[in-house]
Amino acid sequence: MKASPHLISDESFIDVPKRLRHLLAELIGAAADDVFLGNSASWGLQVLANGLPWREGDEVLVMADDFPATVFPWFVIRRYGARVRQLDISQPVPTPEVLERQISARTRVVCLSWVWSLTGHVIDIPALAEVCLSRRVHLVVNATQGLGALPFDVQSTSVAAVTCSGFKWLCGPYATGFAWIDPEVRESMHPTQAYWLALPDDIALDLNREGQHRQREELGARAYDVFGTANFLNFLPWSASVSYLLTETIDAIAAHDRALVGRLIDGVADTAYRVISPTDPDHRAAIVVVTAGEERANAGLHQLLAEAGVDAALRGGNLRLSPHLYNTADDIDRAVAVIRSHDRLPKHRIG
Ligand SMILES: Cc1ncc(COP(=O)(O)O)c(C=O)c1O
């Protein structure tokens, strides 16, 4: 397209982001007008951090050990006299009871990752959303490590906003993401930006002669789109991925991933490796974190897996395996075989 620019029509500047917005909205059961496009999970959070109407002394509650992308974007609220309170809890993820106790009169937002990337623990979104609703606090969820592998519908819980990277379970290229903000919450926000290509649907596009230059107020969530919305190189392949996920259905993909995860957990059950992630099918995601209890041994196994062509991640000193729709039972068996062979090595050779 770059070599033959006539292949890039003026209309595609509108149609490419529009199609992606609709696909992402379908994925989470939302209206397309309530979804905006980003380049990361952080994008949606920074929009909220800069757009929500803060008052002096307000606070955002986050977990101290949550993934940094869930925490960092909020730090800018200092400039509005608000602050981030980081909570240290002794549990893998906050329960409704813990949250209930920790929400203070100053708390305006609670922001949490849906699935913990270092352990695979999953928060109970509906229960936490209920607590937040009863305290008139916005629950904002970073869905990056869940969406695409687990079903999610914004209609079924009272979350205030959801943000998500596109390059994990949604199989997009790097530098993709999106967010959804409940329309009532969005109504309360200040505009944070104005972009010439953020146009209402009913404006016929003339890229160079749009007429009057004024801040547009009738844009819905797309007012918060990351600039460069016709990001062909990233958004066309990401649209193809999301469309494919929707065609296969997230329920079917979740069942497939669940079976692979179960096979993996069973395969390592009687080894010296300990599964850190939840093993109960009702409380786990598609992330399986295992450890030999010692970082060097984990690093050694990571190396062996790589040599066997198994892509695992070494995260926080532990091994993370994340099977998804492109994996098969054979892939899992191959990983399990390597893990089991490593398990049998004499202790002094491990690592
Ligand atoms: C929970 C979680 N959120 C977000 C990200 C990425 O953040 P961003 O898209 O803002 O760069 C990751 C991984 O990279 C993650 O594991």
328 vs 201, which has greater pLDDT?
328
The reported pTM is 0.96
What is the identity of the amino acid at 260? L
d(CA 69, ligand 1 centre) in Å:
5
Which of 37, 67, 111, 170 has most ligand 1 atoms within 8 Å of its beta carbon, as the pocket-test mutant? Answer: 67
Task: Kindly state the average pLDDT of the residues 103-132.
Answer: 98
Quickly state the pLDDT bin for 346 (edges 50, 70, 90): very low
Which tokens hold the place of 36? 């905006």
Tell me the per-residue pLDDT of 32-59, one tens digit each, with 9 for 90 and over: 999 999 999 999 999 999 999 999 999 9
pLDDT band at residue 210 under the 50/70/90 scheme? low
In whole angstroms, what is the distance from residue 289 CA to residue 142 CA? 20
> What atom in ligand 1 is closest to the CA of residue 166?
9
- Ligand 1 pocket at CB < 6 A: 40-42, 67, 69, 113, 117, 142, 144-145, 165, 177
Gap from CA of 338 to ligand 1 centroid (Å)? 29
Angle (nearest 5°) at CA 103 between 97 and 109: 120
pLDDT band at 203 (very low <50, low <70, confident <90, very high): confident
pLDDT digits (tens, 9 = 90+) for 284-341: 999 999 999 999 999 999 999 999 999 999 999 999 999 999 999 999 999 999 999 9
Query: Is the pLDDT confidence value at 141 over 50?
Result: yes
Residue partners of 235: CB distance under 8 A and separation at least 6: 16, 17, 20, 37, 176, 229
Ligand 1 centroid from CA 120, angstroms: 14
State the average pLDDT over residues 168-186. 98
Residue 203 Cα to ligand 1 midpoint, Å, equals 35
41 CA distance to ligand 1 middle (Å): 6
**145, burial (CB in 10 Å: exposed 0-12, middle 13-18, buried 19+):** buried
Per mean pLDDT, which range of 116-130, 239-253, 264-278, 331-345 is the poorest? Answer: 331-345
**pLDDT of 348 higher than 60:** no
| CA-closest residue to ligand 1 atom 11 | 40
Q: Please tell me the distance between residue 299's alpha carbon and the centre of ligand 1 in angstroms.
A: 23
Choose which residue among 119, 144, 174 to substitute to test ligand 1 binding: the one with the highest number of ligand atoms within 8 A of its C-beta. Answer: 144
Residue 288 DSSP SS3: strand
pLDDT tens figures, 12-26 = 999 999 999 999 999
Residue 193 clears pLDDT 70, i.e. is over it = yes
Degrees, nearest 5: CA angle 323-298-62: 70
Beta bridge partner(s), residue 161 = 140, 181
Atom of ligand 1 at shortest range from CA of 70: 3
